[in-house]
Amino acid sequence: MCVAALVLCLACTSAVFAAEKVSFINIDGAIGPATASYISRSIDEARAQNAQCLIIQLNTPGGLLDSTQKIVQSFLGSSVPVVVYVAPTGATATSAGCFITVAASVAAMAPATTIGAAHPVSIGGFPSGGEEKTDETMKQKLENFSVSYIETIAGKRQRNVEWAKSAVKESASITAEKALQLKVIDLIASDISELLQKLNGRVVDGKILKTAGAEVSEIKMSASEHVFQKLWRPEVMFILMLIAIYGIIGEMTTPGAILPGVVGAIALVLALYLAAVLPVNVTGLVLIALALMLFIFDVYATTHGVLTVGGIIAFLLGSLMLFNRGDPLFRLSLNYIIPATLVTAAFFIFIIGKGLRAQLLPIKVGKETLIGKTVTALTPIDSRSGRIFVEGEYWNAISDTPIEKDEQAEIAAVQGLTVKVKTKGK
């Protein structure tokens, strides 16, 4: 009886220990809307699984401010402790990643990792004249907001407020070891196993973590999150924009093709959606639109290619200004811009240009081609009747002035199945 009770007790104890679970996700790349959605959903799933905590392994060069704010808000409102672990070795938590790490319930880093450089990058065009002062004012406002925002977060999590402010103001960046010394983070762990050991017994938000030997359950990105994470990049939006241009204009110049129009419309919708998410410069879009107009106008105007050259220059400048080249995260590479400029110019010059010019040529098929041809009267022709033979066919013919049989005449008009002729040379 005692043996049975002991076995039952051990079984219950094992079940309790086996029930301890830690949720885990891996963020490797830029912070955007898909990342914010993924983290928010993971927090909800960790709570539903009654997990001890959610570990976010982070390696990011930065990202969008709006998405960062949503992530920070989800951290601060989470009932499940959130552990941000900057890893693996060599990983970084810069820009947006710094905000996210500081906002975590527990901030941890692997050896030889870095954190900091959180100065905001202003997204916009190239200011000139009166715009320069406005642009500088906006930069200052953005910096002031970022300083106060990270100061609030660091104060909430009882971390080094002064260093957090310097990370924004001066783009300060430090190693994991220095971050631990300055109380920017809470601990250093070489891997997940060591992290779980060091988290065990720590009191976080009034909860004692039991992570030693806990089961690590990874929460995967959903299909939609994974797709959008790959899509929201400047290169993707740029390519979609080109597809939309080629498809829609191709459909307009070749009515009835249908497929180019459908593909172009879908690409346009996706490009507009990404434009609402990515930091797009309106001046760049206007220059690209101007380039397209110049390409098309040059088809109708006799400028000997001047408008086409202007269009190529406008397209190149618009592509360069479409995203802020001062921010590496949203910089559109010249490897995309130069080939796209050449392909677009060739598309309008050799495909669209020739198609539109062909539509302007005189009709070369049908009844209209008979006008001006010289024929021989098979019978006398007057205003009521007559016959001719042309293009392998017999036609009824009429003429305002009488024409004798075998006399040469010229076709002046086609009226249904009857041609109107006139004396040759008149």
Cβ 160 vs Cβ 167: under 8 Å = no
Residues 42 and 107 grouped into a single domain? yes
Backbone φ and ψ of 289, nearest 5°: -65, -40
CA-CA distance, 40 to 27, in Å (whole number)?
13
In a domain, 228, yes or no: no
69 vs 257: CA distance, rounded Å: 46
Give the pLDDT confidence score for residue 328 in this predicted structure: 64
User: Which pLDDT belongs to residue 185?
Assistant: 95
Q: Among residues 251, 247, 293, 250, which one has the least CA distance to residue 271? A: 247
In a domain, 389, yes or no: yes
Residues 201 and 294 occupy one common structural domain:
no
- Reported pTM: 0.68
In a domain, 109, yes or no: yes
Backbone φ and ψ of 55, nearest 5° = -100, 125
With beta carbons less than 8 A apart as the criterion, state whether 267 and 287 touch: no
Rounded to the nearest integer, the mean pLDDT of the chain is 82
Residues in the chain predicted with pLDDT less than 70, given as ranges, are: 1-19, 121-135, 253-257, 299-305, 324-329, 351-368, 425-426
Q: What is the pLDDT of residue 410?
A: 86
- 102 and 207 housed in the same domain: yes
Residues 118 and 217 in one domain: yes
354 and 378: one domain?
A: no
Cα separation, 150 vs 68, whole angstroms: 11
Predicted pLDDT of residue 334: 84
Burial class (CB in 10 A: 0-12, 13-18, 19+), 5: exposed
pLDDT tens profile 38-71: 999 999 999 999 999 999 999 998 888 889 999 9
Total domains in the chain come to 3
Q: What is the CATH number of the domain that holds 409?
A: 2.40.50.140
Same domain membership, residue 137 and residue 113: yes
Give the structural domain span for 165: 2-223
Q: What is the pLDDT of residues 270-304, one digit of tens each?
A: 888 888 777 788 888 899 889 888 877 776 666 66
